[in-house]
C-alpha cells in the first residue's frame, strides 16, 4: 500500500483532501441506518461454529490471523514472518531456522497476500501461501496444524509484492518483484537504472504430494515495478498476469518522473510455454544465495538449507512466452474473473476500470498485431485487447473480487467504497461506503473458479472514529458485507491484528475435518525426545547441558535439577506426554533470554538458558492446564563455574 500512497498522494492531493473531509464528517461514528436484522446475520451462538474461515494477513505485523465469518471472531494468530513469544515461534530452538535468510536471522517481515491452495481451480483447503515483502520470502501454512511449515527466500528480487498466488492446481506459487534491482546484485550507480536494473518473476513449483516448494525458474523482466498478479483460470489456465508501473524505468518515483507514461502494462506470461522450454533444457543457471526452511512434523524441528543457484529464463528467447497489454494510469490490482476471460486492471490514477479480454488477446497474438516492443517483448494494441471499461465508477480503484453470478466488486481507496458491477455490460449495480479508505477486499474463493459469493470482507487502511480510542493508534479494521442480495449490506466492523492487508476465505467444511487434534507421541522423532518419565535425564557435554524433560498433568520430570554451573549452556528439551486434545503445557525459566514454550500434546520443544548467577532458580508451567497447574514447578541449582 505504501507504494500506492507515495505515487498518488501528491498527484491526487486535491481529491484526498476532498475525501478525508468526507470521511471525517461522520461525527457520530455510525455508518448510517442498519437494518434491524443485521445482528442476526452475524450472530453465531455460543458453542456454534462459523461458516467460513478468513485468513487475514497482518501486513507489517508479519503474521496471519484466523477469523470466523460471519462473526468476525479472532481464533488464532499464526506467526509466519515475525517472532511470537506466545507460541515461542522464532524463539525456540525448533523454529528459529524458519526465520533464517541469506541476510542472517530476520525475525520480521511485511505479510501481504495470502492465497489458499486449489485443485481444478477450486479451493482445496490444504495450505495457505503468503508473501513477505521486505526480505523476499514465500511461506506456506499447513491447514491441518495451522502452523508455518515452510519458508523459501526469493533471490534476485526486492519488495516481493506481486505474490503469492497459486495456479489452478497449485502447480506453482508465483512471486513477482516490486523493485527492479541489479541482477545479479552489484555495486553500480543508481542513476544507471534504466536498462540495467531488472525485475524477476519467480515460479515456485509445489509438490502435489507434500506441498514442498522449490523455485523451478525465474523470468528476467525489464526494470519495471511489478505490483500485483493473478493466475489465469479455466480457459486462461497456463497464463499469469502482472501489473506494472514505472515502465519509464525511473530511479526515483517522485511523480514528475514516475507517471509520465499514459499507459503502463499488464504483463501476460505464458508459464506453460516457459515450463516446456525449461523442461527441454532451456534457461541459464546463475549463482544465487537463498534460504529454504522446512519444518518437519515428525521431528518437530525446522532445518534451514542455503541454496546456491537458480534457473533464469530470458523471455525474449522463448517465443510466445510474454506479451505486454497497455493499461492506463499505473495499474495496481490485476484480477482474473472465475471464467478466466476477463483481466481487470485498475489504474490507480485512472477514472475508470479497464478490463482486458483473454480471447481478444489470443486473437491479437495469433494475427501478430503488435504496437511495437519493449526489450524484444511484443506490445499489443490497447484497443485490440480491451473488453470494456467501467466508466467513472469511483476514485482510486485498487482491487477486484468476483461472485459466482458474473458480478465484480472493486475497492476504491480514494472515494472509500466498494462498487459492484456487471462483467460484460460494465454497468455499475451498487455501491457501498467503506469506513475508511479500503485497500483489498475478499470474497471466499473470490479469486478461484468457484467463489462463495455470500460475503465480501473489506480491509480498510484508516479507522478513525469507528472504535473506542486507544491513544494515537486506533485498531486496524475490516468490515463484513452481505452480498447475497442485489444490494450489498454492511453487517459488521471487526478489529484486526496489524494491517489487514489481504485475506483468503474458505468454507469451514473444507478445513475442519482435517484439523489435527494431537501429535502422536509414538511418532515423535525429535532428537531430544523423552517418550516416558523413564527416559528423562540430564546429560553434560563439556559446558553444554541437555535436560530431557517431560510434562504431564501435573508435574515435570525431572523437577529438581542439580549440577548446573554459571556459564553453562543449558538446553531444556521438553516433551508433552499428554495425548488428549487441547492440553498443552508451558514452561518458563527465570532469567531466560527467550520466550516460554507452549508444547502441544505429543510434541517436543526446546529453549536455551544461560545462567549468569549462582543460586537455586525456579521454573513453572505457563499454561493453565489442570486444577494442579499451580503445582507444576521445579528448581535448578546453579553452582559456581
Ligand atoms: S497491495 Cu496495498 S492495497 Cu500490497 Cu495488495 Cu493493493
Ligand atoms: Cu501444565 Cu499448567
For 282-333, what is each residue's pLDDT tens digit? Answer: 999 999 999 999 999 999 999 999 999 999 999 999 999 999 999 988 889 9
Whether the CB-CB separation of 483 and 455 falls below 8 Å is answered with yes
Tell me, rounded to whole angstroms, the distance of Cα 183 from its chain centroid: 25
Residue 47 lies in a domain: no
Q: Which residue's CA is minimally distant from atom 2 of ligand 1?
A: 1
What pLDDT band is residue 260 in, cutting at 50, 70 and 90? low
d(CA 58, CA 446): 20
Are 533 and 470 contained in the same domain? no
Query: What pLDDT does 12 receive?
Result: 42
Are 497 and 622 contained in the same domain? no
d(CA 149, CA 207): 14
Residue 625 lies in a domain: yes
Residue 380 lies in a domain: yes
**Which residues have any ligand 2 atom within 6 Å of their CB?**
585, 621, 623-625, 629, 632
Alpha carbon of 497 to ligand 2 centroid (Å): 27
Are 442 and 505 contained in the same domain? yes
Determine which helix (DSSP H) or strand (DSSP E) holds 313, and give its type and residue range. strand 301-313
- What would the pLDDT profile of 85-126 be if each residue is shown by its tens digit? 999 999 999 999 999 999 999 999 999 999 999 999 999 999
Are 274 and 302 contained in the same domain? yes
User: In this structure, which ligand is nearest to the CA of 587?
Assistant: 2
- What would the pLDDT profile of 390-426 be if each residue is shown by its tens digit? 998 999 999 999 999 999 999 999 999 999 999 999 9
Are 507 and 580 contained in the same domain? no
d(CA 82, CA 594): 14
Q: How far is CA 612 from CA 92, 303, 539, 542, 549, in A?
A: 20, 29, 20, 17, 22
What pLDDT band is residue 5 in, cutting at 50, 70 and 90? very low
Q: Which residues contact 166 (CB under 8 A, 6 or more apart)?
A: 115, 116, 117, 118, 129, 172, 173, 174, 206, 231
Are 500 and 552 contained in the same domain? no
Are 136 and 8 contained in the same domain? yes
Alpha carbon of 585 to ligand 2 centroid (Å): 5
Query: What pLDDT does 34 receive?
Result: 77
d(CA 109, CA 90): 13
Whether the CB-CB separation of 501 and 58 falls below 8 Å is answered with yes
On the question of pLDDT at 277 being above 90, the answer is yes
d(CA 319, CA 609): 59
Q: Which of 483, 514, 545 is the last residue of a domain?
A: 514
Whether the CB-CB separation of 441 and 460 falls below 8 Å is answered with no
Q: How far is CA 10 from CA 143, 254, 261, in A?
A: 42, 9, 17
Instruction: Pick the range with the lowest mean pLDDT from 84-88, 238-242, 258-262.
Output: 258-262
Question: What is the CATH number for 619?
Answer: 2.60.40.420
Which atom from ligand 2 is nearest to the alpha carbon of 553? 1
Are 115 and 192 contained in the same domain? yes
d(CA 88, CA 105): 15
User: In this structure, which ligand is nearest to the CA of 551?
Assistant: 2
Alpha carbon of 514 to ligand 2 centroid (Å): 27
Number of domains in the chain: 2
Are 406 and 467 contained in the same domain? yes
Which atom from ligand 2 is nearest to the alpha carbon of 626? 2
Q: Which of 485, 514, 543 is the last residue of a domain?
A: 514
Q: Which residue's CA is minimally distant from atom 1 of ligand 1?
A: 1
Q: Can the peptide bond before residue 551 be classed as cis, meaning omega within 30 degrees of 0? A: no
Q: Name the β-bridge partners of 354.
A: 345, 389
Alpha carbon of 31 to ligand 1 centroid (Å): 25
Residue 480 lies in a domain: yes
Tell me, rounded to whole angstroms, the distance of Cα 252 from its chain centroid: 27
- What would the pLDDT profile of 543-565 be if each residue is shown by its tens digit? 999 999 999 999 999 999 999 99
d(CA 341, CA 350): 22
User: In this structure, which ligand is nearest to the CA of 114?
Assistant: 1
Residue 423 lies in a domain: yes
Are 497 and 534 contained in the same domain? no
Q: Name the β-bridge partners of 472.
A: 470
Which atom from ligand 1 is nearest to the alpha carbon of 1? 2
Alpha carbon of 556 to ligand 2 centroid (Å): 9
d(CA 159, CA 138): 12
**Which residues have any ligand 1 atom within 6 Å of their CB?**
1, 4, 112-113, 161, 228, 332, 398-399, 439-440, 501-502
Residue 46 lies in a domain: no
137 three-state secondary structure: strand
Instruction: Pick the range with the lowest mean pLDDT from 4-13, 157-166, 447-456, 627-636.
Output: 4-13
- Quote the mean pLDDT of the chain: 93
User: In this structure, which ligand is nearest to the CA of 335?
Assistant: 1
532-568 CB burial, b ≥16 within 10 A, e <16: eeeebebeeeeeebbbbbbbbbbbbbbeebeebbeeb
Q: Which residue's CA is minimally distant from atom 3 of ligand 1?
A: 439
User: In this structure, which ligand is nearest to the CA of 502?
Assistant: 1
Determine which helix (DSSP H) or strand (DSSP E) holds 6, and give its type and residue range. helix 2-9
**What would the DSSP string read from start to end of 48-111?**
---SEEEEEE-BTT-EEEEEEETT--EEEEEESSS-BTTTTBTTSTTTGGGGEETTEE-----B
Q: Which residue's CA is minimally distant from atom 1 of ligand 2?
A: 585
Containing structural domain, residue 222: 2-26+54-514
Q: Which residues contact 451 (CB under 8 A, 6 or more apart)?
A: 338, 401, 402, 403, 404, 443, 444, 445
Q: Which three cell numbers stand for residue 34?
A: 442498519
Whether the CB-CB separation of 481 and 513 falls below 8 Å is answered with no
Query: What pLDDT does 562 receive?
Result: 97
d(CA 288, CA 273): 24
pTM for the whole structure:
0.94
Alpha carbon of 489 to ligand 1 centroid (Å): 24
Locus of grid cell 482445496:
124
Are 453 and 568 contained in the same domain? no
d(CA 428, CA 537): 70
On the question of pLDDT at 8 being above 80, the answer is no
Are 361 and 421 contained in the same domain? yes
Query: What pLDDT does 329 receive?
Result: 81
Alpha carbon of 475 to ligand 1 centroid (Å): 19
Alpha carbon of 496 to ligand 2 centroid (Å): 29
Residue 69 lies in a domain: yes
Q: Which three cell numbers stand for residue 48?
A: 456454534
- What would the pLDDT profile of 43-69 be if each residue is shown by its tens digit? 999 999 999 999 999 999 999 999 999
Question: What is the CATH number for 389?
Answer: 2.130.10.10
Q: Which of 476, 496, 514 is the last residue of a domain?
A: 514
Amino acid at each position: 500500500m505504501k507504494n500506492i500512497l507515495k505515487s498518488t498522494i501528491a498527484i491526487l492531493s486535491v481529491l484526498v483532501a476532498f475525501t478525508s473531509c468526507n470521511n471525517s464528517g461522520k461525527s457520530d461514528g455510525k455508518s448510517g441506518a442498519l437494518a434491524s436484522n443485521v445482528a442476526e446475520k452475524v450472530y453465531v451462538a455460543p458453542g456454534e461454529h462459523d461458516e467460513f474461515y478468513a485468513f487475514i494477513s497482518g501486513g507489517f505485523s508479519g503474521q496471519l490471523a484466523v477469523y470466523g465469518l460471519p462473526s468476525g471472531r479472532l481464533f488464532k494468530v499464526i506467526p509466519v514472518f515475525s517472532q511470537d513469544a506466545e507460541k515461542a515461534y522464532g524463539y525456540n530452538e525448533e523454529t528459529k531456522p524458519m526465520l533464517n535468510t541469506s541476510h542472517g536471522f530476520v525475525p520480521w517481515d511485511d505479510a501481504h497476500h495470502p492465497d489458499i491452495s486449489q485443485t481444478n481451480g477450486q479451493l482445496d483447503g490444504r495450505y495457505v501461501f503468503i508473501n513477505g515483502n521486505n526480505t523476499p520470502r514465500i511461506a506456506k501454512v499447513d491447514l491441518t496444524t495451522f502452523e508455518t511449515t515452510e519458508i523459501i527466500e526469493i533471490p534476485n528480487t526486492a519488495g516481493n509484492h506481486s505474490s503469492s498466488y497459486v495456479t489452478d492446481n497449485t502447480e506453482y506459487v508465483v512471486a513477482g518483484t516490486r523493485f527492479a534491482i541489479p541482477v545479479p546484485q552489484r555495486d553500480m550507480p543508481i542513476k544507471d537504472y534504466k536498462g540495467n536494473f531488472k525485475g524477476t518473476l519467480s515460479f515456485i513449483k509445489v509438490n502435489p504430494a507434500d506441498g514442498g516448494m522449490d523455485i523451478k525458474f525465474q523470468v528476467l523482466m525489464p526494470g519495471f515495478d511489478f505490483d500485483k498478479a493473478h493466475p489465469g483460470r479455466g480457459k486462461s489456465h497456463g497464463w499469469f498476469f502482472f501489473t506494472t508501473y514505472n515502465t519509464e524505468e525511473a530511479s526515483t518515483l517522485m511523480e514528475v518522473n514516475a507517471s509520465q507514461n499514459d499507459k503502463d502494462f499488464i504483463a501476460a506470461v505464458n508459464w506453460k510455454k516457459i515450463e516446456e522450454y525449461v523442461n527441454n533444457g532451456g534457461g541459464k543457471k546463475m549463482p544465487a544465495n537463498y534460504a529454504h526452511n522446512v519444518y518437519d512434523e515428525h521431528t518437530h524441528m525446522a532445518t534451514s538449507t542455503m541454496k546456491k543457484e537458480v534457473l533464469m529464463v530470458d523471455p525474449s528467447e522463448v517465443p510466445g512466452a510474454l506479451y505486454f497489454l497497455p493499461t492506463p494510469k499505473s495499474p495496481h490490482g490485476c484480477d482474473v474473473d472465475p471464467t478466466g476471460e476477463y483481466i481487470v486492471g485498475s489504474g490507480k490514477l485512472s477514472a475508470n476500470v479497464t478490463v482486458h479480454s483473454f480471447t481478444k488477446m489470443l486473437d491479437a497474438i495469433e494475427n501478430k498485431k503488435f504496437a511495437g516492443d519493449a526489450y524484444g517483448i511484443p506490445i499489443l494494441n490497447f484497443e485490440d485487447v480491451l473488453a470494456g471499461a467501467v466508466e467513472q465508477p469511483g476514485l482510486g480503484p485498487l482491487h477486484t473480487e468476483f461472485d459466482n453470478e458474473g458480478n465484480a466488486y472493486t475497492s476504491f481507496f480514494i472515494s472509500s467504497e466498494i462498487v459492484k458491477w456487471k462483467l460484460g455490460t460494465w454497468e455499475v449495480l451498487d455501491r457501498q461506503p467503506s469506513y475508511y479508505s479500503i485497500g483489498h477486499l475478499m470474497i471466499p474463493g473470490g479469486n478461484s473458479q468457484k467463489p462463495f459469493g455470500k460475503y465480501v470482507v473489506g480491509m480498510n487502511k484508516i479507522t478513525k472514529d469507528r472504535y473506542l480510542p486507544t491513544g494515537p493508534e486506533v485498531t486496524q479494521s475490516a468490515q463484513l458485507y452481505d452480498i447475497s442480495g442485489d444490494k450489498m449490506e454492511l453487517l459488521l466492523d471487526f478489529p484486526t491484528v496489524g494491517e489487514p492487508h489481504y485475506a483468503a476465505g474458505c468454507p469451514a467444511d473444507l478445513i475442519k475435518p482435517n484439523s489435527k487434534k494431537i501429535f502422536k507421541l509414538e511418532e515423535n522423532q525429535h532428537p531430544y525426545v523423552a517418550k516416558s518419565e523413564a527416559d528423562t535425564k540430564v546429560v553434560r557435554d563439556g559446558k553444554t547441558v541437555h535436560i530431557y524433560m517431560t510434562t504431564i498433568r501435573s508435574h515435570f520430570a525431572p523437577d529438581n535439577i542439580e549440577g548446573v554451573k554459571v556459564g553453562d549452556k543449558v538446553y531444556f528439551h521438553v516433551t508433552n506426554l499428554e495425548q488428549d486434545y487441547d492440553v498443552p503445557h508451558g514452561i518458563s525459566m527465570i532469567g531466560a533470554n527467550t520466550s516460554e514454550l507452549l508444547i502441544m500434546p505429543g510434541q517436543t520443544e526446546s529453549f536455551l538458558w544461560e545462567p549468569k548467577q549462582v543460586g537455586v532458580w525456579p521454573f513453572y508451567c505457563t499454561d493453565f492446564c489442570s486444577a494442579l497447574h499451580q503445582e507444576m514447578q521445579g528448581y535448578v541449582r546453579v553452582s559456581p563455574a
